[in-house]
Amino acid sequence: MATNGYDPFYEGIMAMPGGTLQACLDEFRKGHVRDRVMAEVQHTELGQHHDKTDYKSVEGLGQLRCRIPVQDYHHYGQMYGYDCWNDQAFLDTYEESNPGVKVNCGGTKLQFGYVPYDKSKVKYHKNFG
């Protein structure tokens, strides 16, 4: 039962330490933590979808590298400026920290001069030298 005649929920909130109370109020107003958690869930779902789907590069546009959620695009764009998406080092770091956004994308042309990673699996090799 409430001791001051207030709602027990209100008393519980008011009994929080000052920093925690302010953090809760800011989260209720702005919802940044909620948005970040939802973005992480979306990254996981995108990663599961991208593992099942193969993408092809588009002539004139190139190879698809990753699919960036709208929330991340604007979050990082507002934090660092939208030119950060043109920075190769930033994209490498973004892909490492968010593996769910990477896609499996192959080229549209055949590759000549292919050297296999494991040469022990090569059955035939012709030497012209």
- In the chain, what are the helix, strand and coil shares in percent, each to the nearest 5? 55, 10, 35
Q: pLDDT band for 93, please (50, 70, 90 cuts).
A: very high
Q: Would the pLDDT of 48 be above 90? A: no
Provide the β-strand partners of residue 58.
62
Q: Give the pLDDT of residue 107.
A: 65
For every residue of 7-60, DSSP letters joined together read -HHHHHHHTS-HHHHHHHHHHHHH-HHHHHHHHHHHHHHHHHHHHH-EEE-BTT
With a pLDDT cut of 70, the percent of the chain lying above it is 70
pTM of the shown model: 0.51
pLDDT range class, residue 29, cuts 50, 70, 90: confident
| pLDDT higher than threshold 90 for residue 83 | yes
Average pLDDT over residues 56-60: 70
> What b/e sequence results for 29-39 when a residue is b if at least 16 CB atoms lie within 10 Å of its CB, and e otherwise?
eeeeeeeeeeb
Is the pLDDT higher at 110 or at 27? 27
SS3 of 67, please? Answer: coil
Question: Residues 75, 39: contact at Cβ < 8 Å?
Answer: yes
DSSP conformation class of 82: G
Q: How many residues does the chain have?
A: 129
Mean pLDDT of the chain: 76
pLDDT band at 80 (very low <50, low <70, confident <90, very high): very high
Judge whether residue 94 has pLDDT over 80. Answer: yes
pLDDT at 99: 82
